[in-house]
Amino acid sequence: MARRKICVVSGTRAEYGLLYWLLRAIRKDPALELQLVLTGAHLSREWGYTKDVVEKDGFAIADEVDILLSSGSQLGVTKSIGLGLIGFAESFRRLAPDLLMVLGDRYEILAAATAAMVARIPIAHIHGGESSEGLIDEAIRHAVTKMAHLHFVSTEHYRQRVIQLGEQPDRVWNVGAPGLDNIRQLRLLDQRRLERDLGYSLGESYFLLTYHPVTLGKDGPRRALENLLRAAANFPETSLLCTKANADADGHVINEMIEHYAVDNPARIKLVDSLGQLRYLSAMRHAAAVVGNSSSGIIEAPAMGVPTVNIGERQRGRIRARSVIDCGSTEKEIARALKEALSPAFRRIAQNVESPYGDGKSSARIAKILRSVDLEGILLKTFYDLPGR
């Protein structure tokens, strides 16, 4: 019997890290054939070129779709989506997958899902039903949900939301967040080993900082990032370990600002293009707090008992644990939140929270469903009306 061909698209370092254990599970399953397609920042020297990380992990790359332009503008992102539509259409024609698997809400994923929809390829989507109201990702995520045929969500609340969008309940599975699989399965580095890998002493206390563009914000990222760096300076005993922003509009602005700050403050901050999952989660484990506006502060940090200072609107709407402190983007608001996160009382709260995002076994659940689910006639979708409608 022919193996079922599962095409998985990845466009960023973070997304690949979340998909890692699922990729391994698909590759290991004798009933499945993995087709891994890389795009976006994986193929860009400007944004970290993480293709070599994927190859080092031992995954065969079935195809590459180069869509990333270097402008960092809204126009550039729109052109990238157009290039992606063309590139993925050609790639899917060559690979002829039985199913496309995508995760999340980025514009690369929108291009891949649209090309698959037109090519009559069933789509499976991970992390649907969530909300991040400060981003264009909000609309992209729900658009991909409506194009998809199988849905793997991270909480029961999000399962109900996908059903509310008209998806059939028997096609929506609450499997938990794949990012927690890394916490459960990776053997994390102690701080001394992490510091050797980084070539930098983090000291007794440090913030793990990642700040991404708020793509629906009116003011751009410059002022908020300046406020964040000024607020962090109020805690001179706490250093900064910072990863660069992702390849969104205004990502260049953030990265250039942090690069200049790192040059001027070499004893205060270590800036890294990409830590990779092992080093990133190891850094999270030992951090005084996760700071910025990355989803990892909402999903992974609470599962590790680490406080999160979540700044601004980027992650507004996501389910949170009690260990997440939401704050505005003024210097005073950020400094107040950092002080609370460092307090012994709040650290005790963080160490005892229960993650709302599952138990770290989602990849095995997804692979089992991919192996057994009936794809016959799946392309013809019937809108599910909620009871009483």
Per-residue confidence of the chain (389 residues) as pLDDT tens digits? 689 999 999 998 889 999 999 999 999 999 999 999 999 989 987 777 889 999 999 999 999 999 876 656 788 889 999 999 999 999 999 999 999 999 999 999 999 999 999 999 999 999 999 988 777 888 999 999 999 999 999 999 999 999 999 999 999 999 999 999 999 999 999 999 999 999 999 999 999 999 988 766 666 788 999 999 999 999 999 999 999 887 666 778 898 999 999 999 999 999 998 888 899 999 999 999 999 999 999 999 999 999 999 999 888 889 999 999 999 999 999 999 999 999 999 999 999 999 999 999 999 999 999 999 999 999 999 999 998 76
Do residue 169 and residue 279 come from a single domain? no
Do residue 101 and residue 215 come from a single domain? no
The order of strands in the sheet holding 123-126 is 61-65, 32-39, 4-10, 99-103, 123-126, 150-153, 172-174
Do residue 335 and residue 195 come from a single domain? yes
Do residue 77 and residue 120 come from a single domain? yes
Tokens of 309: 């200072």
- Closest among 170, 162, 130 to 146, alpha carbons compared: 162
- Closest among 194, 158, 163, 149 to 176, alpha carbons compared: 158
Domain that holds residue 95: 4-178+360-372
Tally of domains within the chain: 2
Say what the pTM is: 0.90
Do residue 292 and residue 325 come from a single domain? yes
- Closest among 58, 90, 161, 132 to 298, alpha carbons compared: 132
Instruction: Establish if 266 belongs to a structural domain.
Output: yes
Do residue 64 and residue 169 come from a single domain? yes
